[in-house]
């Protein structure tokens, strides 16, 4: 009979790991994923409403901007149509049409759109001039010239038009003060402003200052031909050469040169004459 069987102790080499290396990596990955999910859930739970509110505000801002640009475009289109209609009515020979244009011009004169506001104010000034109300026209043009919210080109045009209406009633010095900067060489207003500045100098008996201005007008490109022709005639009548550069010192004489006196005949000539 054999004795009770005893299991032999396993050898060291027969132990096997419960998890293979691949199983360990999978486990760590699952743990890492769970940690990430937990962090995301925690972040959303804490800041989710703030994020949602921010998204809604962004969408509202975009929608508001689109609405605003659309309304501005519609306002510009409506203002343009109103201006064209009002200008057409002002040109009408029917008094009823001109009367109907007045409220349109009044509304456009307070418009936030700079170009239409300026156009309406100039139209009002022209209408007042045509009606013989120069005082009202001058006041309208002065308001344009002093309105710093308008572009400089509008303000300069109003200053020239205003001065032309007041030219015979204000001092020559005031004409020069207002328009001399606009009569400078290269200025787009050298023709309109320069003529008035030149005549103002003549009123002050200063042809030496008026002549170079008329030469400048006659020489500058872009000046309308009628104004150039008048300036050329004025310069020539004052003894100034329109072919000379008025900016060059001494290039334009203030007065035409006096003819030289004839020399006295030599003694021999006198004897011969006898």
Max Cα-Cα span within the chain: 195
Is the domain of 143 the same as that of 197?
no
Which pTM does this prediction carry?
Answer: 0.63
- Residue 16: φ, ψ to 5°: -125, 145
Q: Are 214 and 233 in contact (CB under 8 A)?
A: no
Q: DSSP labels for 159-180?
A: HHHHHHHHTTTS-HHHHHHHHG
Note whether residue 34 is domain-resident: no
At residue 94, the pLDDT reads: 80
Is the domain of 149 the same as that of 244?
no
Residue where one domain finishes, among candidates 145, 166, 187: 166
pLDDT in tens, 59-113: 788 877 776 667 667 777 777 777 788 878 777 768 887 788 888 888 888 888 8
Q: How many residues are given for the chain?
A: 274
- Element containing residue 12 per DSSP (H, E): none
The closest alpha carbon to 163, from 187, 206, 184, 194, belongs to 194
pLDDT in tens, 132-181: 999 999 999 999 999 999 999 999 999 999 999 999 999 999 999 999 99
| Residues in contact with 166: Cβ distance below 8 Å, sequence separation at least 6, in sequence order | 138
Average confidence score pLDDT of the chain: 79
Residue where one domain finishes, among candidates 166, 198, 222: 166
Tally of domains within the chain:
2
Question: In terms of residue numbers, what domain contains 144?
Answer: 59-166
Residue where one domain finishes, among candidates 166, 190, 221: 166
At residue 163, the pLDDT reads: 97
């Amino acid at each position: 009979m054999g004795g009770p069987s005893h299991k032999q102790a396993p050898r060291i080499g027969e132990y096997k790991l419960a998890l293979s290396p691949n199983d360990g990596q999978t486990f760590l990955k699952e743990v890492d994923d769970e940690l990430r999910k937990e962090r995301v859930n925690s972040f959303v739970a804490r800041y989710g409403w703030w994020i949602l509110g921010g998204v809604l505000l962004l969408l509202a801002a975009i929608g508001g901007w689109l609405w605003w640009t659309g309304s501005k475009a519609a306002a510009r289109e409506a203002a343009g149509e109103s201006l064209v209609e009002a200008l057409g009515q002002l040109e009408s020979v029917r008094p009823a049409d001109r009367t109907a244009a007045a409220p349109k011009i009044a509304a456009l004169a307070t418009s936030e759109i700079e170009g239409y506001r300026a156009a309406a104010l100039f139209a009002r000034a022209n209408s007042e001039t045509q009606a013989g109300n120069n005082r009202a026209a001058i006041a309208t043009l002065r308001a344009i010239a002093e309105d710093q919210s308008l572009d400089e080109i509008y303000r300069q045009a109003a200053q020239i038009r205003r001065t032309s209406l007041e030219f015979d009633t204000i001092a020559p010095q005031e004409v020069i003060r207002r328009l001399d900067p606009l009569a400078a060489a290269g200025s787009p207003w050298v023709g309109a402003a320069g003529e008035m500045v030149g005549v103002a100098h003549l009123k002050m008996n200063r042809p030496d200052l008026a002549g170079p201005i008329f030469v400048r007008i006659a020489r500058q490109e872009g000046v309308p031909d009628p104004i150039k022709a008048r300036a050329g005639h004025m310069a020539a009548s004052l003894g100034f050469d329109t072919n000379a550069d008025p900016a060059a010192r001494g290039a334009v004489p203030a007065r035409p040169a006096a003819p030289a006196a004839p020399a006295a005949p030599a003694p021999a000539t006198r004897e011969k004459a006898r």
